[in-house]
């Protein structure tokens, strides 16, 4: 699939963009290059390939390197909110902007 200059101009109009003819031609070449890459990827035979739940599931060494998700910093909420103009129940109070 490749886009024509008329399709590029229509896309630019829908996106509220004003393109010069040179910019439209550049956009056409870039988008057609991307769409060509997508077509190449879709042409790859993936039958018999099972999807992975996690990309590192097939590599035990990488899976073991992932660190556990644990809290490593102390709670400093009070210290961080000490300089705030208004705080209530651990939340910053701000002026109302919408009536």
In-domain check, residue 71: no
pLDDT for position 65: 67
pLDDT for 82: 93
CATH at 20:
1.10.20
pTM above 0.85, yes or no: no
Mean pLDDT in residue range 1-29: 94
Backbone angles phi, psi at 97, to 5 degrees: -115, -15
Q: At residue 5, does pLDDT exceed 80?
A: yes
The answer to whether the beta carbons of residues 3 and 35 sit under 8 Å apart is: yes
Print burial letters for 8-42: b (CB count within 10 Å at least 16), e (below 16). Answer: bbebeeeeeeebeeeebeebbeeeeeeeeeeeeee
In a domain, 68, yes or no: no
Q: What is the DSSP letter of 39?
A: H
- For the stretch 43-92, pLDDT in tens is 999 999 887 776 666 666 555 666 778 889 999 999 999 999 999 999 99
Residue 6's pLDDT band (cuts 50, 70, 90)? very high
For residues 90 and 82, the answer to whether their CB atoms sit within 8 Å is no
- How many domains, the chain? 1
Write down the pLDDT at residue 62. 59
56, part of any domain = no
- Note the pLDDT of residue 51: 79
- Contact between residue 52 and residue 58 where contact means Cβ atoms under 8 Å apart: yes
Domain that holds residue 11: 5-42
Q: Can you give the pLDDT at residue 30?
A: 96
Distance CA 45, CA 87 (A): 59
Does 96 fall in a domain? Answer: no
């Amino acid at each position: 699939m490749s886009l024509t200059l008329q399709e590029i101009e229509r896309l630019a109009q829908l996106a509220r963009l004003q393109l010069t003819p040179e910019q439209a031609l550049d956009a056409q070449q870039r988008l057609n290059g991307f769409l060509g890459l997508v077509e190449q990827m879709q042409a790859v035979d993936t039958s018999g390939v099972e999807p992975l739940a996690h990309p590192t599931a097939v590599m035990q060494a990488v899976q073991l390197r992932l660190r556990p998700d644990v809290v490593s910093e102390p709670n400093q909420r009070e210290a961080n909110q000490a300089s705030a103009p208004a705080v209530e129940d651990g939340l910053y109070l701000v002026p109302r902007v919408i009536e």
